[in-house]
Each structure stands twice: as C-alpha cells, then as structure tokens.
Amino acid sequence: MERKTQQFYIESSLLKLAYKNNLYSILVNFTALLSVYYQIASLNIPYIDSWFYCTVFFMLGRLYVDILYRKQNVSDDHLTDPQSLSVWTKYYVLGVALGGISWAIIAVIALPNLGTEGRFLVTVIASALAGGATGVLAPSKIIGKVFIVLTLLPTSITLIFITPSLPLLGFLGAFFCIVMLVGHHNHHRQIVNNIELTFKNDDLVENLKEQNNQILDLNHRLENRVRERTADLEKMALTDRLTQLNNREGFLDRCGQLAEKSRSLKFYFFDLDRFKQINDSKGHEVGDLVLQHISSLLIDILPKHTVVGRWGGDEFVICSIDDLESLGVLASLYKSFSESIYIRNKRIEIRMTIGVTHYPEDVSNIEEAIHFADLAATHLKRKGERGGILRFNHELARTSELASGVINVLHEKKYGRYFHLEYQAIVNEYGAISAVEALVRLDHPLLGKVPPDEFISVVENTGHIMDFGKWVLETALTYIKELRRLNPALSISVNVSPIQLKEENFHHSVQSLLSKHDLPASVLSLEITESFLEDINLENIIYQIEALQRIGVNIHIDDFGTGYSSLTRLRTLPASTLKIDRSFVIDMGLQGDGLIRSIMSIAEQFNLDIIVEGVETEQQFDHLKALGCRKFQGFYFSRPIKDKEVEKMCLSSLPIKIHI
C-alpha cells in the first residue's frame, strides 16, 4: 500500500512540476515560432501559413488546458484522484507531442527552401528548444525524450540530405540530440530522486525548489538566447553583405526613424556611371572592390547622422536632415570620386550622377522621394549629362507620368490602336515627288498627341523597340506597295534606332519583310541619325548597315552636321544619302551657304546623294537650287500627312506646293 501511495505521490508531483513549467514552455515555443515565421513568411513555401496557424491554434489549446489545470488544482498540494491524474497527464502529453511534431514539420518543409542564414536560424532555435527541454520537460520521462527527438532529429537529417547540404551541422545536431536525451534522462532521474526523498523527509522540499529555480533560470537563459539571436539575424537582414551599408529594407527603416525626429529630409540618389564596363573589362571581383571603395568614401565624408544605403547593384542612396550641396559635402564627394583609384594594379575611373529630392517639399512619402531622385539621375544620363546633379521637379514628374502611359500602351502590343504613320514628301528640283518619309505618331485619348521625341526614347529604353520597329517597318512597306500602283517610281524612308541595328539578325528581318511584300530592296531607305557614331557598339552597327547595303537597302544619315561627325568621316561612313539638317537652311546667306557647299562637294566625291530638310519658303527653295541642291523636304512642299492625302498627291501630275 505504501509503495502505491509513494508511486502516486511521485507521479502527481511530477505532473504538478510539469504543469508548473508548462506556461514557460508554451511562451518559449511561441517566441521561437514567431522568430522562425518572421524570417520565412515572405518566402514562397507551400503550407507555411497553414503550419503557422495550426501551431498557434494548438498552443492556445495548451494554454487553455494549463489555465483549467491551475484553476482546479491551485489549492491542492497534490492530485488525490487517480482518474484526474490520468486525464491531466494525457492532456499534457498531447500538447507537448503536438509541439514536437510542429517543429519536425517545419524542418521538413522549410529548411530546403531557406538560405544559409535561415537554415542556421532554424537549427539554432531547434537546438535551443531541445536543450531547454532537458530541463523544462524533465518531469516527463517519455514525452520529454519524444519532444527532443522530434525537435532536433528531423532538422539534423534534413540538413544532411538537402541541397546544398550542411552535413557537418546535421551530424552535430544528431550528436547534440543524443546528448540532450542523456541530459533529459539524468534530469528526470534527479527529480524523481528528490521527490522520493521529499516523500520520506519534508526537509528536502527546499532542494526541490532549488531544482525548480534552476529550471526556470535555464528557461530564462534560453529566452534571452533566442531573443539575442533573433536580434542578430534581423540586423543581418537589414545590412548589405558586400558594403556593410544598409540594404533597401534597412535604409527605409532608418529613414522612417529619422523622419519621426525631423520635419524635412533630403534624399540623394547616386548612380555609378558605366559600372557595367568596369565589371566587363576588369572583372566582377574588381567591381566589388570598387563598390566597397565607394562605400568607404561615403562613410568617411558624410556627416555621422546621415543614413547611407546601397539601393541596387551600382546605386547608392543617402538621407540627411542637412542640405549636403549647400554644405559643400557633395563637392567633396565629387572631388574624391574624380580621383583615379588603383585596384589590383588596375586604374579605375569613377563618376557619379546624382538625383536629389526634398521631403516633404517635393514628394509625399519616403519611397516616392527615392523613386523621383532616381528619376532625376536617370534623366541626366539620358540627356548625356553624366556626372551631373539634378533636383527633381514637376516637369520630370510629367515626363515620368507620360513615360508610364506610353509603357502601358506598349505592353498592350496593339500598336495600330494608338500609333499611326504619317508621310512627308521628298521632292526633286521641279517639285515632283520622288519619295516619302514615314513618320510615326502617337494619339492617345488620355495622353493626347505625344511628340516622337518624347515617346521614342521610352520605346527604346523599355525594350520594345524591336517589336515596335518591326511594326513601323511592315506598316510602311504595306503602304508603299499600294502607292507604287499609282507611281511605280516612289520609294519610302523609315527611321530606325541604333538599338535595332545592334540586333544580329536585323538585316535578315528587313530582307524577309521585303520578300513578304514582294518589293525590291531599292524601294526602302533606312534613316539613322549621325549620333549613332557615338555608340560604343559602333562596329556591330556598321556591320548591319553594310549588310543592308549589300541586299540593296539605302541608308540615309539624318540631321547630318549637327554634332557627332566631321566632313572627313564621309570617306568611311556607310551611307548612300546625307540629309542636311534644317539648321543649315535657317542660316543660309551666313555660314550656312558655305557649309552646305562643303558638304555637297565632299559628298559628290564619295558618290553620296543630298537631301535638304526644313525647306519652308519659296525663297529658300530657289536659293538651295541655285546652290546646286536637287532633293528637298519641308513644310513648303508638305507637312506630314495621312495616307489618303498622299494618294491625292501621287495622282496629281503637277509639281506640288502643298501648305497644310
């Protein structure tokens, strides 16, 4: 009888001790659950949300059972009813088992989808929970061991077999599991011995309290360890690994904190110029060292309270409560950037283009401030003003809205819905049409009539130029085929982008379209501005032009003489016709006459035709003919007009002088 009483006393004392630690166990598990879920919730892991909510649900169930137990047994030293002992034991075992199963599940479904940091986090938490279980779950001989095995062993096995595997960590986890099982067994044996001694001698109760305090202390240290590790991981998640600056998330977080302390913030978007060329020519390792060098410069020169971050591959952002330009800080940065640096005995030139916004003067929120500072820097680079600095303004906002609208139109891929072609006549010295130039126009119900110089750059910069250019070319060829039924001598000119000419098979595409419409190649002239001579891929472009010439397509250099080439380049320029820019016509009688004569003289030596653009008056027409010009284009003859009006011109047998 005494033996049964002692056994019941031991079991009830163990259960009471287990429930005494139960609330702390629940809280530790819940803290660990939140830490893991916070790190992996954004990943696309199947069933992760279901796992989280199910785990929270049964944890709440455990908490509810714990509250009921405390409510019913708070005044009792020990349970006196064997049936109650059995019921409360089953509830406890079920709750701990479900907790262990939950951690086993997350090891299987999450670890294969995590990066190295995430795997370390889950492993650390699993190890900490297993270590804590040796003490917190020590009152339960079987379920404590089950919890340790479920928490740590699946994680260790998964680490060994996932790709890429972490076998060393997996085997250490398995070894740690064995150690924890031994530790749990020893803790349990020690607790039982203490209870047996207490049953025999009440003087030993204080020893049991001390043991319990040690368990609580162990639990407290476990919580602190989990909290510290979580804080370290959060810091790592907000820091750029290469430069040790804030990454995007870290920068936005710091800016938000700064905005709470200051009414006005200044944002500076630093865009490194031609960084891709550094990577391509010097190697990515050198490129990384350049980025680290820039990071060091920013940290050394900027005021201490300034927030600095790496926004992208070669982009840096700065947030400051001070106007860095007026303080001369930007000037110091420019000076430092302008000095050549040597990395691994390789000379590197660094240049930065900077966009600026002021918050809240220019924009309504921090994300918008960064975006528009980026927009200002991009605008400078598109204008060819690399290395400059520009503050965001509302004209840039209008340009951005327009670009967004054009991008939406381009994404529809229904170019004929909003775009159309108009045609401007090219005439001979008698005013008779010899060719037409196809000019693309955009007329949108919301955007209105958008000039080509505003939407063409968007088409080029968003990667739509190949499809869009093909649509323009096919539309033009379809129409010239109809026109040639009225006038078989007509040809057509179509503007092309240098980007199209960089495409390896562009000349094949043109030849295919000509064959499709059963047109001779001589009918088509492709116009490209002389600015293509500045392109770094000039050799590829010239190769395509020469290939087009070999199949019979004519090449016109548009706006000739406006900036990039000299007359001496005509000797090697792959073209059949030069189109003299209208600016020379405006200056006729001054320097223009001499320049036009010079161009005509040298062009004649190299067997190049001349077309004069921008003829707007009869006096200009007569004067240019007197200079020896034979082909003309301009408003004096015809503005860009729609197809039906072109057909009327072709039917007319008289020289045209149409003023629309």
pLDDT of residue 207: 56
Locate tokens 């050394």: which residue?
300
pLDDT of residue 572: 64
pLDDT of residue 660: 36
Q: What is the pLDDT of residues 434-470, one digit of tens each?
A: 899 999 999 888 888 888 888 888 888 778 899 999 9
Instruction: Write out residues in the chain with pLDDT < 70, as ranges.
Output: 1-6, 73-80, 163, 199-208, 226, 228-236, 382-384, 531, 533-537, 561-573, 589-591, 650-660
Please tell me whether residue 654 adopts helix, strand or coil conformation. coil
Q: Which amino acid would we find at residue 306?
A: T
pLDDT of residue 203: 46
pLDDT of residue 571: 64
User: What CA–CA distances, in Å, run from 66 to 18, 98, 214, 398?
Assistant: 10, 15, 21, 63
Whether the ω angle into residue 154 lies within 30 degrees of 0, i.e. cis, is: no
CA distance linking residue 124 with residue 312, whole number of Å: 31
Q: Rounded to an integer, what is the distance from CA 447 to the centroid of its chain? A: 27
Structure tokens at 269: 């978007």
Which residues lie closer than 8 Å to 56 by C-beta, 6 or more apart?
A: 30, 33
Structure tokens at 359: 């918050």
DSSP assignments along 134-166, one per residue: HHHTTT-HHHHHHHHHHHHHHHHHHHHHSSS--
Asked if residues 305 and 321 have their Cβ atoms less than 8 Å apart, the reply is yes
DSSP assignments along 561-610, one per residue: TSSS--GGGGGT---SEEEE-HHHHHTTTTHHHHHHHHHHHHHHHTT-EE
Beta-bridge mates of residue 578: 557, 610
pLDDT of residue 386: 77
Helix axes 167-200, 205-237, angle to 10 degrees: 160
pLDDT of residue 421: 93
pLDDT of residue 234: 63
pTM of the model: 0.50
Q: What is the pLDDT of residues 112-131, one digit of tens each?
A: 777 777 777 777 777 777 77
Please tell me whether residue 431 adopts helix, strand or coil conformation. coil
How confident is the prediction for the chain on average, in pLDDT? Answer: 81
Q: Which amino acid would we find at residue 148?
A: I
